[in-house]
């Protein structure tokens, strides 16, 4: 009998949550996907596991027995791996990591280099996947470590079955075409400009909506782009301004875009997310712990690189006259200007109106302390 452990996890969640709908929410799957996984599991074991004769889905006696074993099977496998690791004093095996392009290039590649030197038996396997699909793969066990991004104005991902570790707070910067004369120095200067906007479901798209809501304007989105590379190319070609994280600017040749002095745009948070250990000892998987430590070291080195690559702009002294603090600027090119009507202030949640908090390492309740992006 060949049983896929991922389908056992689905069955266990159905039993634990009391139905397909709630299990689907916990696993970040559709109810249809959960039903398909259960049907396949029934074919594998050759028994009916779900009683479909009633309006509400329930487990058959065989289903209840198998669901009871599902969690113990996972616990025993992880505990066996831990004991074997201690016995051999070697860290080995594959670790599947899901992330998005900028993290892969600037954090995971250096981390893999260090892992290869220190722990050559560990085999990192990188998947370029993010957002809800990545969370689904993490919950189902197809991914071991997930790197997520989201706007700092939103609460950190918190699920009882997931452990979240803050890796990095990545400050947003506003970029504009290099040939535009004298960049905008205030948010008011940005109101009439065209925007190369991020997807609303991504951190940079959320940042633009928050900035517009706080300052009471409707951004003129001439382009909506998912990846940072194409967005920065459009900016460089003169098609608008954009909000990007500082990390994305490491890939931009000097002089290709201009970085505005407008600050306090906020930041995105990068987190490493894993499943909470269900072992008897409660300790995290030792191989995953080593991989996360290498990722954290690479992130710390990246911060120093960013400070050297993108120094903070110098502010004029407070005692300087107004003309010195905000010099007269040449107008933005005519093709980029448009009259802006007085907009109605957008309604935002209270947490989106507050300043970005000072980053601190966070821990998920009852767990050890898993958006699309680029």
Supply the pLDDT for residue 322: 36
Query: How high is the pLDDT of residue 56?
Result: 67
**105: how many CB neighbours lie within 10 A of its CB?**
15
| Residue 312 CA: distances (Å) to CA of 172, 179, 181, 252, 264 | 12, 21, 20, 17, 12
Amino acid 287: pLDDT: 85
pLDDT at 200: 85
Contact status, residue 222 vs residue 338, Cβ threshold 8 Å = no
pLDDT at 355 (0 to 100): 41
10-residue block means of pLDDT along the chain (374 residues)?
74 77 78 85 83 74 79 64 57 89 93 92 91 85 90 81 89 90 80 90 88 90 92 94 91 87 87 76 74 93 76 39 34 42 36 39 37 50
The pTM for the full model equals 0.61
pLDDT tens figures, 45-68 = 888 888 777 666 678 888 888 877
Q: Look at residue 327 in the predicted model and tell me its pLDDT.
A: 34
Angle at 27 between CA 154 and CA 131, to 5 degrees: 45
Instruction: Tell which residue, 15, 8, 14, has the closest CA to residue 45.
Output: 8
Q: In terms of residues, how long is the chain?
A: 374
Please answer whether residues 144 and 162 qualify as being in contact, where contact means their C-beta atoms are separated by less than 8 angstroms: no
- The pLDDT value recorded for residue 361 is 40
């Amino acid at each position: 009998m060949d049983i896929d452990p991922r389908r056992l996890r689905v069955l266990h969640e159905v039993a634990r949550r009391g139905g397909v709908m709630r299990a689907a929410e916990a696993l970040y799957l559709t109810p249809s996907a959960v039903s398909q996984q259960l049907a396949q599991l029934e074919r594998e074991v050759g028994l009916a596991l779900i009683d479909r004769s009633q309006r509400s889905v329930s487990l058959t006696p065989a289903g209840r027995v198998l669901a009871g074993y599902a969690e113990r099977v996972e616990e025993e496998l992880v505990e066996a791996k831990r004991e074997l690791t201690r016995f051999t004093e070697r860290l080995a095996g594959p670790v599947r990591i899901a992330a998005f392009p900028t993290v892969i290039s600037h954090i995971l590649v250096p981390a893999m280099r260090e892992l290869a030197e220190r722990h050559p038996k560990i085999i990192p396997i990188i998947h370029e996947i993010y957002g809800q699909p990545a969370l689904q793969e993490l919950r189902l066990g197809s991914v071991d470590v997930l790197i997520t991004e989201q706007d700092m104005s939103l609460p950190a991902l918190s699920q009882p079955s997931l452990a979240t570790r803050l890796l990095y707070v990545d400050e947003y910067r506003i970029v504009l075409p290099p040939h535009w004369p004298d960049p905008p120095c205030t948010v008011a200067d940005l109101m009439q400009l065209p925007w190369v906007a991020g997807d609303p479901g991504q951190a940079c798209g959320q940042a633009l909506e928050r900035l517009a809501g706080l300052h009471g304007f409707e951004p003129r989105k001439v382009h909506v782009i998912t990846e940072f590379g194409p967005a920065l190319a459009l900016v460089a070609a003169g098609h608008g301004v954009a909000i990007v994280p500082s990390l994305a600017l490491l890939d931009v040749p000097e002089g290709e875009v201009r970085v505005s002095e407008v600050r306090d745009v906020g930041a995105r948070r990068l987190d490493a997310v894993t499943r909470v250990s269900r072992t008897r000892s409660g300790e995290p998987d030792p191989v995953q712990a080593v991989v996360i430590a290498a990722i954290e070291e690479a992130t710390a080195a990246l911060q120093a690189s960013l400070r050297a690559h993108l120094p903070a702009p110098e502010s004029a002294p407070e005692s300087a006259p107004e003309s010195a603090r905000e010099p007269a600027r040449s107008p933005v090119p005519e093709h980029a200007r448009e009259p802006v009507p007085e907009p109605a202030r957008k309604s935002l949640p209270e947490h989106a109106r507050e300043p970005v908090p000072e980053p601190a390492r966070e821990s998920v309740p009852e767990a050890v302390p898993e958006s699309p992006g680029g």
